[in-house]
Amino acid sequence: MKKFLAPLLVATALMAGHTSSQATLYTTSYGVDAGSPSSCDDCFSGQWNFSGTGQSINYFGTTYTGAFVGSNGYLTFGAGASNYSPEPLNTQAIAPMIAALFTDLDSRSDAASNVYIDTSVAGQIVATWVDMGHFSQNYSVRSTFQIVLRSDQYAIASGEGQIGFFYDSVTDGSSASAGFGDGLAAINDGEVAFQSQAAASLLSNSAARWYNLNNGVAVVANTVPEPSSLALLGLGLVGLAAARRRRAK
């Protein structure tokens, strides 16, 4: 029986580990300038609250109504942060944090590099870092990326999630970390570190990443199979059906 299941198992495994390869930002409606992070080195602004009535998020056991945005590629909860050394997200003890590109970014005296916040949709915060340079005022490299954060009350569409990471062009080769964690040095359930102290440019134009929170802690990646994956699964099912018919004969 195992040999008949092989095509299906292979197709299913490929689909389960596959994310959409569409490399783009979630939205190009950036919202408003985030203020100081658009022209600074190592700063933050906020708190930026979810719009709408009664919107909040349970993040690792604590309820928040919004987040702070840091110039160095992350959102934090409870307080702002200006740290620039990219620690792994599952062991950093700076603050409860979501980081798309935690590295020493720079936006001083440069009109092209800016940070934006969009809270126009109830229960959703979109933070966008556009054409950020690197310390110290190195604008020969640029990084554009985005974090999407949804409240617990937000009605999540199929194929999306509560925390989203999106990457456009990233040409910065400096060390960077990405993921999210509870702000405690110990590695705990629900923390995600999908990049730790590796070249930021490795995330350039990478696939969108969606994650769901379950009571603020348990994290599940929300993958969306592409048509090619669905076709592969279909071939596996066809192969299984054909094998069963041959066996029956």
Tell me phi and psi for residue 148, to 5 degrees.
-110, 125
* pLDDT score for 222: 55
Count of beta carbons in the 10 Å neighbourhood of residue 99? 28
The chain-wide mean pLDDT, for the chain, equals 85
3-state SS of 110-157 is CCCCEEEEECCCCCEEEEEEEEEEECCCEEEEEEEEEEEEECCCCCCC
Band (pLDDT 50/70/90 cuts) for residue 51 is very high
For 116-146, how does the pLDDT look when each residue is reduced to its tens digit (9 = 90+)?
Answer: 999 999 999 999 999 999 999 999 999 999 9
3 vs 23 pLDDT, higher one: 23
Rounded Cα distance, 74 and 80, in Å: 10
**pTM (2 decimals)?**
0.81
pLDDT value for 3: 39
For residue 136, whether the previous peptide bond is cis, meaning omega lies within 30 degrees of 0, is: yes
Identify the burial level of 167 via C-beta atoms within 10 angstroms of its C-beta, where 0-12 means exposed, 13-18 middle and 19 or more buried: buried
Does 80 have pLDDT greater than 90?
A: yes
Residue 233 confidence (pLDDT) above 50 = no
The pLDDT score that the predictor gives to residue 5 is 36
Mean pLDDT, residues 4-16: 34
Question: Would you place residue 177 in the very low, low, confident or very high pLDDT band (cuts 50, 70, 90)?
Answer: very high
pLDDT of 21 over the 60 cut:
no
